Amino acid sequence: MPREPLKILIHIIICRGCSGRASVDAAAWLRQELRRRRLSAKVSLSVSDCLGPCARGPVVTAADSEGVVWLGGLSDPAHYSALLEWATRCAHDGVVHGLPGEFRGHAFDRFAPACSGA
């Protein structure tokens, strides 16, 4: 019988495109901390070459079963610490909580609204 795929709570993607080394360093630190805290079964982390909206970089997405949140301008190491603490809390509680206040002003809509009407 096939095994049920591992179900995660959150998938974080960090763009290393135009933000370069800082994003790669943040991703390496975050990956190490997720492993150290034994959260890898609940929180997945990927690094992307380019997520697209470079003018808002560094860009990070946080996806869960409800959708994707796009975050831009995450240039301060404190942003990644807050992201880790949020992910830790979600993993321990087994539920995705709203993003912490540190991310107010960093969330943005990536896609244009759908066309309404005929």
For 78-98, write each residue's pLDDT tens digit: 999 999 999 999 999 999 999
Look up residue 36 and give its DSSP letter: H
Tokens of 71: 């975050």
Contact 60, 71 (CB under 8 A): yes
The pLDDT assigned to 5 comes to 65
Least confident stretch, 5-9, 39-43, 61-65, 102-106: 5-9
Its sign, for the CA torsion 93, 67, 74, 60, is: positive
pLDDT, tens digit, 9 for 90 and up, residues 31-77: 999 999 999 999 999 999 888 888 888 999 999 999 999 999 998 99
The pLDDT assigned to 1 comes to 64
Which fold would CATH assign to domain 10-108? Glutaredoxin (3.40.30)
Q: Of 68, 52, 70, 50, nearest to 60 (Cα)?
A: 70
The pLDDT assigned to 4 comes to 66
Give the residue extent of every domain in the chain.
10-108
* Single-letter amino acid, residue 92: H
What's this model's pTM, rounded to 2 decimal places? 0.86
